Amino acid sequence: MLGIATLFCLLPCLSMVMGFGIDHQQLAVLSHQTISNDLPTQIVASATAIANPLSPVFEKYMSTLSQYPLPTKMVTGAALATAGDAIAQGREDDDYDPSRGASFAAFDMIYRAAQHWLFPIIVELCRGQYLLGAAGAIGAAQLFDLSILTAMERSLASQLIIVPFLYYPVFFTFTGVMQGLTFEEGLDRAKQNFVPLMKRNLLFWIPVQYVQFCYIPTELQIPFLSCAGLAWTFILSIMAGSAKKYSSDEPEHDTYCVIGTESECIIPEEELFPPVLFDDFNESDLSNAQLKVSQEEATTSSIKEKEVIMK
């Protein structure tokens, strides 16, 4: 449900940025057209065909994307990841953690670079043939359009192969190191968060990536994912953003030290006077203690009696 809701939120924004009244069939043709050697000219031409009129900011962005595709995608991802983490940190009681924000920005830059090289491989290898063969095995091949199967197959390849075996290992390792976790602490953090995050990942990203592979032109796919990633980074930052609670450097109880002429440390009362557990007592020990007290009282009484007689 989260992914579908995000999808409906993204589509109007995409229409506003890329033009009004755009036909989905036209987008599909643009997304599957063959890219010639004159890539920068074709990118700007495709953007011009889609968005009319172009805003100056979008025109400048497309020009920069055509000339410097990889750095532009990396900077876009880092900026939106930083914004998503800042929004998530704003909901928490603690002050803004710059190292946490930097870890998200650096990680997203690396992952956008990986996507830049991996997506052409996915597009080349996944053309819908695997899902079409599976549908044919149950006699339902005629029910599905090949373009739909192709987009779904590419989305599943990204979410079931790249995400669990590349995205999350790099995320937990990279952000853990930048936030000062040891290997054991980072591994504990990954074990606690991987399964919940993977469930949300599939619900969120499969619909988004279906739209990406089915309707978005190739040159705009990673910027589109970066925009969707703003919402995802917010989710990721809330669930596994802070590594403080996994660090062994955190004190187990609150100790307050006042620095003045002399250092004075105030330890909470429950640490000074821990609760007494009844299991700590032994009945025989209690009986021996009572017997000892009774003997002492008898001895004291005998001495007092002798003193009275002597008087």
Is the pLDDT confidence value at 79 over 50? yes
Which amino acid, 278?
A: F
Closest CA relative to residue 7, chosen from 213, 210, 154: 210
Which amino acid, 65?
A: L
Q: What is the reported pTM? A: 0.60
CA 211 to chain centre: 22
Position 218 scores a pLDDT of 87
Is the pLDDT confidence value at 22 over 70? no
Sign of CA dihedral 143, 146, 151, 152: positive
Is the pLDDT confidence value at 263 over 50? no
**H or E element at residue 257:** strand 256-258
288 token code pair: 């021996």
**Weakest mean pLDDT among 88-102, 232-246, 272-286:** 272-286
Do 223 and 73 contact (CB within 8 A), yes or no? yes
Spatial separation of the C-alpha atoms in residues 18 and 58, rounded to whole Å: 9
**Weakest mean pLDDT among 173-177, 281-285, 297-301:** 281-285
Question: What confidence tier does 5 reach under pLDDT thresholds 50, 70, 90?
Answer: very low
Position 194 scores a pLDDT of 92
Residues 54-64: tens digit of each pLDDT: 578 888 898 99
Cis before 53 (ω within 30): yes
Cβ neighbours of residue 244 under 8 Å, at least 6 residues apart?
179, 250
Spatial separation of the C-alpha atoms in residues 308 and 311, rounded to whole Å: 5
Spatial separation of the C-alpha atoms in residues 202 and 3, rounded to whole Å: 8
Is the pLDDT confidence value at 28 over 50? no
Do 80 and 92 contact (CB within 8 A), yes or no? no
Closest CA relative to residue 241, chosen from 232, 250, 249: 232
